[in-house]
Amino acid sequence: MYQSNSKMELQITNEDNMIITREYLNQHRTKNGAWTKSQIEALGLEFMPKKGWMKEVIGKELSLDMQIQFEAKKYAKESNTEGKLQGALSNIRSINTGVLVKALRRIENELGNRANDL
C-alpha cells in the first residue's frame, strides 16, 4: 500500500503503477501534437528523445507521481497569464480520474499516518 520513508516522503507501490500504451501517450499530446520537455522527462527519457523513443517506453511501468507529471504538463507552454489559467483548468479536467483518486487516497493515508504518529 502506501508507505513513508524516513524523510517523510511518500513512496508508491506497484499497485499504483500503470503500463504505458501508445494510446496513453497520444491522448496526452499538446495541442500542437507533441509532448513537453517535462512530459518526456516524466517518462524517464532525456529531452530531445531519440527516434524510436515511443517503442522504448511502451509496455514499461509509470508510477503514479510520473502519471500526474505527464498528464499535468500537457499545457505547460502557454505564454500569457490567461492562457496559463485556461491551460491549468483544461489540464485538471483532462487528468485521468483514476489517477486523481489514487493520489487523493495516498494523501489521505499519509495524513492519517502522520496523525497516528502524534
Q: What is the pLDDT of residues 45-98, one digit of tens each?
A: 998 999 999 999 999 999 888 888 888 765 555 455 555 565 666 666 666 677
Burial class (CB in 10 A: 0-12, 13-18, 19+), 85: exposed
Domain count, the chain: 1
Phi then psi dihedrals of residue 51, to 5 deg: -55, 135
Decide: pTM greater than 0.85.
Answer: no
pLDDT category at 13 given cuts 50, 70, 90 is very low
Enclosing domain of residue 90: 3-117
